[in-house]
Structure 1
Amino acid sequence: MRKQDSSTKTPFDDTPDIFRFIDRCARVVRVTVNGILLLALFCGIGLLVLKSRPLPPPDTYSSSTIFDDQGKVLGTLDNGEPRDIVRLEQIPRSLIKATLAAEDKHFYEHHGFSFTGIGRAVLANIKAGKVVQGASTITQQLARNLYLTHDRTWNRKLKEAIYTLQLELHFSKDEILQLYLNEIYYGHGAHGIGRAAKMYFNKKVEDLNLAESALLAGIPRGPYYYSPYHHLKRAKDRQQHILDLMVKNRFITKAEAESARQKAIAIAPPSSHKKVSANYFRDYLVQTAVTRYGLDESLVRNGGLKIYTTLNHDMQRAAERAVHHYTRNHEGLQGALISVNPHNGHIKAMVGGKDYSESQYNRVFARRQPGSSFKPIVYLSALENGFTPLTKIMSQPTVFRFGTNTYEPHNFQNHYANQPITLREAIARSDNIYAVSTLTQVGFDPVIQMARRLGIQSRINPTPSLALGSYPVSPYEMAQAYSTIAAGGVKRPLVGITKIVDPYGRVLVEEKTEPERVTSPAHAFVLTKLLESVLKPGGTGQRVYHLFSRPAAGKTGTTDWDGWLSGYTPDLVTTVWVGYDQGKKLSHQQAHLAQYIWARYMEKATKKQPARVFAMPPGVKAVYVDPASEQIATTQCAGNQVQLEYFVAGTEPQTRCQPSGSPTNKTLSILHRFLRWLNSF
């Protein structure tokens, strides 16, 4: 038999390779199946372990405590209201559907995690370039609220996943939803839908209609942001969005949604609060912790935190009493006060209205026209651009031209000096003609930039009325600006919280602000010495002089609707505003109440502080001057009104005044009369 040639292949020669390939595939399948079975076994064992282990008791509901600047307890952020536990069958179907539409439409379909929701959120966040959408299910939210803090660590996320699985294993979907609706935070201290229904609508849960249900369902996503008390428009916009989602998910019909849209929403007034101090400041603390430091509002209010603040208890009490004393006999009249330590920016007292139980609106942050209290910003810019306390401008009725437009301001009650007046006189009298003339000489941009440097963030336009404080700003912003001036030109951001510590002693927040120099100490000091004239006899704030005797500087401001006084000692800055919320005009006497409030408060607040004068910094020259001739005073002109004046070094007068009968003085007198004659045209 002839041997087969080894170089010749037959179709059967590859058979062993095919068998080897099939055998290899079989082994891979066996390993994969075994792996899947092993994974399933581990998962099953894990689920059995989680099922057998009882859930831990939830974190105890504990109100956060606030401390004053001395470390003494001011109180808690709890309003003392208990939770109203409701059963799921008591809750209207409209509220359940609204909650599912807002938070977790597939709640009854998943086992604690929505992978489609996670994918959708990831795509949305990638598209936006930031986190704009979350994917937490109702079960995950419940796990977080019952057992965990709201930090964003991987350890917390792992625990949340375990607790989510345990909740799904131990409770039915209806039980989880009932727990959620009784636990979730609805803002203003209301945990659970029972408290929320009573607080916002003064109703039992079972009596809520579709419109009310949709509004409530929208609040937990941002309890402060969607608060019907603070941001009613946002709350209603959120309500409309949830109604659209309910239609999209076929929970309600278009007709039902339209009917709910048209239904008027009557928000119940807030219930009476306990007589506690600093209610407006407490609200400010919560808002700051949430918006500035990124903490969850429920954690801030009820996480057992220790919140250390800058508030001084005695100063706060004096502020509340002063505002109440001078506004109580004027129906509807409101007042606001904010007091600050200029050396560190710490808020020592804050009053947002005369009665928190009637109105929780914090007017410290309300934007109102500051009137003449804005002028120091104009004059600080002028000092930086060559003005001195002796710079004279004609005080008389004047029409200013700006391009093709004209502007004709008037002094109060048409009182004019009808002669050139100095910057000091203009500030003391609050001369409007001088202020607008200064603005025209300095320019709009430097003044607006000065406002920004000092801390004014509100919109300001380059118009001539800017000099007279026509653009609304808040008392908070004015306190920031005056605090910067009082601190010698160093801006320190205003703060109310120094530190927040959780129940385990971990520091969640520690405030560390960076000071910023925005003008020179010399310019700030010269302005301060000019503003002292306002609070002395002859100044627009002279009422303060009879009630408060310490060295102080400040500026009044009066419009048809607002009364202001922003002023300071070397160690304390206070801004006071009075007015009506609804645009009702103030009488001139009512506008003066800001001065009385300021003086009464400052007299009490500074009792324990040493009386100090404003320390003169380097770069300032003190000179005795003759205001009439704008020259250095000498014994030869002692008959004139000699006064001590302060100048930024290098801008002080260089010549000495001459006797009234001297040829030089006669020539100057003739020149002044000629200039006054020219200005009269």
Structure 2
Amino acid sequence: TMREAIARSYNVSAVRTGMAVGIEAVAARAHALGIESDLPIVNSLPLGSAMVSPLEMAQAYIPFATGGIARRATPILRVEDRYGNLLESNEAPQPGTRVLTETGAALMLSMLRSVVTSGTASGTRWYSAGPYSGRDAAGKTGTTSDYADAWFIGFTPDLAAAVWVGYDDHVVRIRMQNGRGETGGDIAVPIWNRFMRRVFRGADPASAPSFPGAPSGSIETAVICRLSGCLANAECGDKAVEEQFWAGTAPTTYCPIHSSTSPFFSDTTIPDFTEFDRILGVTSGDASH
């Protein structure tokens, strides 16, 4: 499913989705979300082939936490001199621009939550445990070719933070002493955890804000087969998962793979990718969404 692809960082799924909606549309959406750097119109763009700063990445994830509203990042809240006199303040609420529908933002938020609950950033559970229990978080890890860079962009309802680990010359690779490469989940997520624990030290989790939800009736749930993307039947077994959809876009036909009457009955059958279109609400080649 799209949720699993995001949670486990499946590169093929990202490229197929980018080709389905159009790479130009991917770049346009990234700019609307908050990416300011030039983005090459190439099929590898959804994999992170462009040079983008950590601040831009943190800024681009703000709409997923705000119900679709983009805002300028404010990395420096205030500046004081050594006597405590205020020299500059950026603490006033920033004006925002809607770049995603509330429903679209809620669906993306739900999938990005899966990254931290069961995916490549599941180490963030350390952050939300103990005195921090009750604080919600979501995000996405990233690891570039041959372990040159490790990323994690994570956010709560009130703070987005990006962690990048790497070398400026892109020559030295991030590897452990045994030679195994370090991923975003291995090295960037723990740094994010420590930072967030420091930020919210002493804060009452009970008073923490919540992520905004989708408008009532705009999202529906269905139990689908994770291989076919169709409604699950009794023979789908552990391949059946509950998934969210735009209202009116959930599949209506039952799984043709896990059926004793199907000539394609096999646990190893390669699924098609029509489910990605259904979740995104687009048709193949349509760059308008």
Tell me whether the two structures share a fold, i.e. TM-score over 0.5.
Answer: yes
Letter in 2 for 1:643: V
- Specify whether residues 512 and 548 from structure 1 end up closer, same or farther in structure 2 by C-alpha distance, changes over 3 A only: closer
Q: Please state whether the residue corresponding to 2:154 is helix, strand or coil.
A: strand
1:608 to 182, 191, 204: 204
Task: Confirm or deny that 1:645 pairs with 2:220.
Answer: no
Deviations 1:177-227 (A, max 9, x none): xxxxxxxxxxxxxxxxxxxxxxxxxxxxxxxxxxxxxxxxxxxxxxxxxxx
Letter in 1 for 2:174: L
Q: Check conservation: 1:629, 1:668, Cα contact below 8 A.
A: no
Q: Please state whether the residue corresponding to 1:624 is helix, strand or coil.
A: strand
Q: Please state whether the residue corresponding to 1:471 is helix, strand or coil.
A: coil
* 1:515-530 equivalent positions in 2, closer than 5 A: 515-530=96-111
Match of 1:434 in 2: 13
2:220 to 594, 613, 621: 621
How many angstroms does 1:669 deviate by? 3.4
- Looking at structure 2, the residues matched to 590 and 463 of structure 1 have their Cα atoms a distance apart, in angstroms, of 24
- Looking at structure 2, the residues matched to 585 and 473 of structure 1 have their Cα atoms a distance apart, in angstroms, of 19
Q: Which has the higher contact order (CA 8 A, sep 6+)?
A: 2
How many angstroms does 1:489 deviate by? 1.0
Match of 1:596 in 2: 190
Q: Check conservation: 2:164, 2:188, Cα contact below 8 A.
A: yes
- Looking at structure 2, the residues matched to 467 and 571 of structure 1 have their Cα atoms a distance apart, in angstroms, of 26
Identity %: 36
Q: Check conservation: 2:137, 2:155, Cα contact below 8 A.
A: yes
* 1:276-355 equivalent positions in 2, closer than 5 A: none
1:569 to 133, 148, 156: 156
- Specify whether residues 640 and 563 from structure 1 end up closer, same or farther in structure 2 by C-alpha distance, changes over 3 A only: closer
Letter in 2 for 1:457: E
Q: Which moved more, 1:480-489 or 1:555-564?
A: 555-564
Q: Which moved more, 1:455-464 or 1:508-517?
A: 508-517
2:69 to 457, 465, 490: 490
How many angstroms does 1:454 deviate by? 0.5
- Looking at structure 1, the residues matched to 7 and 21 of structure 2 have their Cα atoms a distance apart, in angstroms, of 20
- Looking at structure 1, the residues matched to 227 and 211 of structure 2 have their Cα atoms a distance apart, in angstroms, of 27
Letter in 2 for 1:565: F
TM-score computed with the length of structure 2 as normaliser:
0.71
Task: Confirm or deny that 1:459 pairs with 2:38.
Answer: yes
* 1:152-551 equivalent positions in 2, closer than 5 A: 422-495=1-74, 496-497=76-77, 513-537=94-118, 539-549=119-129, 550-551=135-136
- Looking at structure 2, the residues matched to 551 and 509 of structure 1 have their Cα atoms a distance apart, in angstroms, of 28
Q: Please state whether the residue corresponding to 2:100 is helix, strand or coil.
A: coil
Letter in 1 for 2:189: Q
How many angstroms does 1:551 deviate by? 3.6
How many angstroms does 1:643 deviate by? 2.6
Q: Check conservation: 1:548, 1:600, Cα contact below 8 A.
A: no
How many angstroms does 1:473 deviate by? 1.0
Q: Please state whether the residue corresponding to 1:439 is helix, strand or coil.
A: helix
Q: Check conservation: 2:15, 2:47, Cα contact below 8 A.
A: yes
1 or 2, which has the higher helix percentage?
1
How many angstroms does 1:490 deviate by? 0.3
How many angstroms does 1:647 deviate by? 1.3
How many angstroms does 1:675 deviate by? 6.7
- Looking at structure 1, the residues matched to 93 and 126 of structure 2 have their Cα atoms a distance apart, in angstroms, of 39
Match of 1:20 in 2: none
Letter in 2 for 1:465: S
How many pairs does the alignment contain? Answer: 245
- Looking at structure 1, the residues matched to 11 and 183 of structure 2 have their Cα atoms a distance apart, in angstroms, of 21
Letter in 2 for 1:555: K
Q: Check conservation: 2:227, 2:271, Cα contact below 8 A.
A: no
Q: Check conservation: 1:488, 1:524, Cα contact below 8 A.
A: yes
Q: Check conservation: 1:623, 1:652, Cα contact below 8 A.
A: yes
Letter in 1 for 2:24: D
Q: Check conservation: 1:637, 1:658, Cα contact below 8 A.
A: no
How many angstroms does 1:646 deviate by? 1.4
**What is the RMSD of the two structures over their aligned residues, measured on CA atoms?**
3.4
How many angstroms does 1:673 deviate by? 4.0
How many angstroms does 1:486 deviate by? 1.3
Match of 2:173 in 1: 585
* 1:69-148 equivalent positions in 2, closer than 5 A: none
How many angstroms does 1:601 deviate by? 2.4
- Looking at structure 2, the residues matched to 620 and 428 of structure 1 have their Cα atoms a distance apart, in angstroms, of 20
Q: Check conservation: 1:563, 1:579, Cα contact below 8 A.
A: yes
Where does structure 2 lack aligned partners over 5 or more consecutive residues? 81-86, 130-134, 176-180, 273-289
How many angstroms does 1:478 deviate by? 0.7
How many angstroms does 1:621 deviate by? 1.7
1:631 to 219, 226, 230: 230
* 1:5-44 equivalent positions in 2, closer than 5 A: none
TM-score computed with the length of structure 1 as normaliser:
0.32
1:553 to 138, 152, 157: 138
Letter in 1 for 2:224: V
- Looking at structure 1, the residues matched to 245 and 109 of structure 2 have their Cα atoms a distance apart, in angstroms, of 11
Q: Please state whether the residue corresponding to 2:205 is helix, strand or coil.
A: coil
- Looking at structure 2, the residues matched to 542 and 512 of structure 1 have their Cα atoms a distance apart, in angstroms, of 31
Letter in 1 for 2:41: P
- Looking at structure 2, the residues matched to 674 and 577 of structure 1 have their Cα atoms a distance apart, in angstroms, of 35
Letter in 2 for 1:525: A
Q: Please state whether the residue corresponding to 1:589 is helix, strand or coil.
A: coil
- Specify whether residues 472 and 669 from structure 1 end up closer, same or farther in structure 2 by C-alpha distance, changes over 3 A only: same
